[in-house]
């Protein structure tokens, strides 16, 4: 297989790359697909501007990076296209779950490895999405804290925000909480990343409740440093693909008119 390079401009030395010269509406040959996957693993989140595509083409583009799977907690764009979902808000919702740093669906036994969003309708201003690198956040912790984190597991559950979505779509909540290691190893890069978040992680298994709350807060706060973050200002035609294994995201709730995204979720793998 010949080597192909794709044009990627980093957004920061830590995370984020803007890809140019790739039309995601067209079939992607295997050499380009491989280069795109490498870029995704290097930058954690890829941004494609000015994409003109259908929902079926978005689904095809997502398969370059993984296996799309149904996400029961948001409605499909069409009944015959159950793997592409609508994320819609009429305006910002203070207290919305998405405005808490998280990676997607960590309450699943195999949380999705990636998520692709395509901007369909945007508010005139605001509605940005922020990303933080959980590998960089882990690396910056002191050695004793990293050692402690590496010995712990944590409980993840859907909580009230997922219950709201479940109610709107009319599906059952997941039956049982799931435990994952507090630090996971990225299966493609081998990088160690913090894997707890304030949206879905409820407690640390090995610690007393008070201790666990304090330690969990410490780990979650680690991702709040601007040093590990970027902020994406959406334009129509943007397609963004992030890696849930090594990043967390936060959807800013500051807008006053409708915002619609079409989303594809990439099937997960066991966390270890
Ligand atoms: C999410 O948290 O999955 C939604 C991100 C966004 O709408 O920007």
CB within 8 Å of 38: residues ≥ 6 apart: none
The answer to whether position 158 is within a domain reads: yes
The answer to whether position 167 is within a domain reads: yes
User: How far does residue 129's CA lie from ligand 1's centre (Å)?
Assistant: 7
CA distance 71 to 76: 9
Task: Check residues 172 and 266 and name the one with the higher pLDDT.
Answer: 266
Mutate to test the pocket of ligand 1, among 251, 252, 253, 260 (most ligand atoms within 8 A of CB): 251
Ligand 1 atom at minimal distance to the Cα of residue 104: 3
* Confidence band of 125 (pLDDT split at 50, 70, 90): very high
Q: Inform me whether the pLDDT recorded for 131 exceeds 80.
A: yes
- Closest CA to ligand 1's atom 5: 251
Mean pLDDT of the chain: 95
Q: Any idea what the CATH number is for the domain that residue 167 is in?
A: 3.60.130.10
Ligand 1 atom at minimal distance to the Cα of residue 98: 2
Within 13 Å, how many C-alpha atoms sit on residue 173's CB side? 14
The answer to whether position 271 is within a domain reads: no
The answer to whether position 148 is within a domain reads: yes
The answer to whether position 272 is within a domain reads: no
Q: Inform me whether the pLDDT recorded for 169 exceeds 90.
A: no
* Confidence band of 4 (pLDDT split at 50, 70, 90): confident
* Domains identified in the chain, total number: 1
**DSSP state at residue 89:** E
- From 226, 243, 196, 183, select the one nearest 62 (Cα to Cα): 243
What is the tens place of the pLDDT at every residue in 98-118?
999 999 999 999 999 999 999
The answer to whether position 141 is within a domain reads: yes
The answer to whether position 123 is within a domain reads: yes
CA distance 150 to 137: 14
pTM above 0.85, yes or no: yes
Give the pLDDT confidence score for residue 163 in this predicted structure: 85
Task: Check residues 210 and 72 and name the one with the higher pLDDT.
Answer: 210
**Which residue range is the domain that position 90 belongs to?**
7-266
The answer to whether position 221 is within a domain reads: yes
Q: Inform me whether the pLDDT recorded for 178 exceeds 90.
A: yes
Residues with CB under 6 A from ligand 1: 87, 98, 104, 129, 249, 251, 261
Give the pLDDT confidence score for residue 162 in this predicted structure: 87
Mutate to test the pocket of ligand 1, among 117, 199, 242, 255 (most ligand atoms within 8 A of CB): 117
CB within 8 Å of 182: residues ≥ 6 apart: 149, 150, 152, 153, 154, 194, 195, 196, 204, 219
């Amino acid at each position: 297989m010949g080597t192909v390079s794709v044009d990627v401009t980093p957004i920061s030395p830590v995370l984020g790359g803007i890809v140019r010269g790739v039309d995601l509406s067209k079939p992607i040959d295997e050499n380009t697909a491989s280069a795109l996957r490498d870029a995704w693993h290097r930058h954690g989140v890829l941004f494609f501007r000015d994409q003109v595509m259908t929902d079926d083409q978005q689904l095809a583009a997502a398969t370059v990076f993984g296996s799309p799977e149904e996400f029961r907690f948001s409605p499909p764009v069409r009944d015959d296209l159950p793997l592409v979902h609508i994320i819609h808000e009429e305006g910002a919702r203070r207290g919305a779950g998405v405005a808490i740093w998280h990676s997607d669906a960590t309450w699943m036994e195999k949380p999705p490895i990636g998520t692709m969003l395509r901007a369909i309708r945007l508010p005139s201003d605001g509605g940005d999405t922020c990303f933080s690198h959980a590998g960089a956040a882990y690396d910056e912790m002191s050695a004793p804290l990293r050692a402690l984190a590496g010995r712990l597991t944590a409980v993840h559950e859907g909580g009230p925000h997922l219950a709201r979505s479940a109610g709107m779509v009319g599906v059952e909540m997941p039956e049982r909480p799931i435990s994952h290691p507090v630090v996971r190893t990225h299966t493609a890069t081998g990088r160690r990343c913090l894997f707890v978040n304030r949206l879905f992680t409820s407690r640390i298994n090995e610690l007393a409740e008070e201790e666990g709350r304090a330690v969990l807060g410490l780990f979650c706060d680690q991702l709040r440093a601007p040093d590990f973050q970027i902020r994406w200002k959406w334009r129509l035609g943007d397609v963004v693909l992030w890696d849930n294994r090594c990043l967390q995201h936060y959807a800013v709730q500051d807008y006053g008119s409708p915002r619609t995204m079409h989303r594809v979720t990439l099937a997960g793998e066991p966390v270890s």
